[in-house]
Amino acid sequence: MNLSKPYLTTRSLQPENQETPIQFIKNNIISERLFFRRNHFSYPNLTYSSYWLPVNGHVRNPQLFSLQNIMSLPSKALTVVLECAGNKRSFFEPKVFGEQWEKGAISQGVWKGVPLKTLLQLAHIKEGALEVVVEGYDVGKRTDTDKVYSYARSLPIEKALHEDTLVAYEYNGGPIPFKHGFPLRLIVPQWYGMASVKWVKQITIVNRAFSGPFQTVDYVYYPKKDSDEGATPVTTMRVNSSIKKPLDREILTTGVHEINGIAWTGKGLIVKVEISTDSGQTWTEVKLRNKDQYSWIDWSYDWEVAEKGEYTILSKATDSHGRVQRKEPYWNRKGYGYNGIDRIKVKVE
């Protein structure tokens, strides 16, 4: 019996940024222990005994919700992939600055909460509402200015009113773990993880574009190295897949080996995953499992290899919007949204 257990892979400790050991995880619901951690600041100091959530701004009926109020409203539970926009950043060529995430800035679990829409309806948003700003309790200095900021981001009003955008209070059937946003966290299915604000402090409806640095400086695709020309905001997840097994640079014997992994998208569903074991000359469609609206799918393929040698194995996913992983990912200065065809190399001896 093998008693070894996987651990998080540390990228930085202050603030804490750690990867999920995705290659070593067999189930599709990730426990708190193995859930990646992505923070811009130190963890906040909160006093939960007096926790109230204000919903205010461009509304007719500002609200102050207690946790009990929120938990008594109709709720829903959704299995959601949370992928950091910087996932796989280390694979960009040329290399870019920032946390050098490999394949593990992604996790999945069951989030339960009240649709944000319900809270907005109770506050009666006024005509002309454009965005909903969600602010977290964590604060700190950024590297680009001396000003102190809290982590805050806005959602366009349509996404805020989407019935599956949740103010969550449970993860996998228990309270949300502190490092992942206890007691309340926004969950925005289909968007990269930066939208899912942890430790929600305040929700403000605005009638103009919010311009906080976590959406005007960071989480913007800058296609040029030396200018901001062509900048566009980072929003929905791109179609993507990761090979979990075998490991990159693993040494195998001849025979049958299972190749497996996951695939996910921020638009529609994954409809196809193809594998190549000959550097992309030929492709085979593989079996897909558990197609759920916002979760990743597992895929697997039994590879029979009779000849010794080095093999490049690739995986390529397609979604129901016809989006396909590309050989060349879209390079951008801050290294977001990497979704190049996944690639590993193995040696058979």
User: Would you count residue 266 as binding ligand MTE (CB under 6 A)?
Assistant: no
CA dist 184 and 218 (Å) reads: 23
What contacts 181, CB < 8 A, 6 or more positions away?
136, 168, 196, 197, 198, 199, 200
Q: Which two tokens stand for residue 5?
A: 């257990």
Site for ligand MTE in 67-106 (CB under 6 A): 84
Please state the closest distance from residue 155 (CB atom) to ligand MTE, in A. Answer: 13
Please state the closest distance from residue 115 (CB atom) to ligand MTE, in A. Answer: 19
| CB closer to ligand MTE out of 200 and 297 | 200
Please work out the total of residues on this chain that contact ligand MTE, with binding judged by CB under 6 A: 17
| CB closer to ligand MTE out of 43 and 283 | 43
Judged by CB under 6 A, the residue of 21, 109, 136, 340 near ligand MTE is 136
Per DSSP, the residues of 140-197 read: EE-SS-S-EEEEEEEEEHHHHTSTT-EEEEEETTEEPPGGGTTT-EEE-TTB-GGGS-
* Tally of CB atoms within 10 A around 174: 9
User: Would you count residue 151 as binding ligand MTE (CB under 6 A)?
Assistant: yes
Nearest alpha carbon to residue 171 among 110, 223, 126, 221 = 110
Look at residue 117 and give its three-state secondary structure: helix
Please state the closest distance from residue 1 (CB atom) to ligand MTE, in A. Answer: 31
Computed on alpha carbons and rounded to an integer, the radius of gyration of the chain in Å comes to 21
| CB closer to ligand MTE out of 35 and 296 | 35
Judged by CB under 6 A, the residue of 55, 197, 273, 297 near ligand MTE is 197
Q: Are 133 and 157 in contact (CB under 8 A)?
A: no
Q: Are 183 and 191 in contact (CB under 8 A)?
A: no
Please state the closest distance from residue 218 (CB atom) to ligand MTE, in A. Answer: 8
Q: Are 151 and 89 in contact (CB under 8 A)?
A: no
Q: Which two tokens stand for residue 272?
A: 């196809």
Please state the closest distance from residue 134 (CB atom) to ligand MTE, in A. Answer: 9
Residue nearest to ligand MTE (CB): 136
* Tally of CB atoms within 10 A around 290: 10
User: Would you count residue 117 as binding ligand MTE (CB under 6 A)?
Assistant: no
Please state the closest distance from residue 197 (CB atom) to ligand MTE, in A. Answer: 5
User: Would you count residue 138 as binding ligand MTE (CB under 6 A)?
Assistant: yes
What string marks each residue from 16 to 55 as x (binds ligand MTE by CB under 6 A) or -?
Answer: -------------------xxxxxx---------------
| CB closer to ligand MTE out of 38 and 244 | 38
CA dist 192 and 224 (Å) reads: 21
| CB closer to ligand MTE out of 232 and 320 | 232
| CB closer to ligand MTE out of 39 and 277 | 39
| CB closer to ligand MTE out of 78 and 344 | 78
Site for ligand MTE in 164-183 (CB under 6 A): 180
CA dist 341 and 317 (Å) reads: 8
CA dist 182 and 169 (Å) reads: 7
User: Would you count residue 194 as binding ligand MTE (CB under 6 A)?
Assistant: yes
Site for ligand MTE, rule CB under 6 A: 35-40, 84, 136, 138, 151, 180, 193-194, 196-199
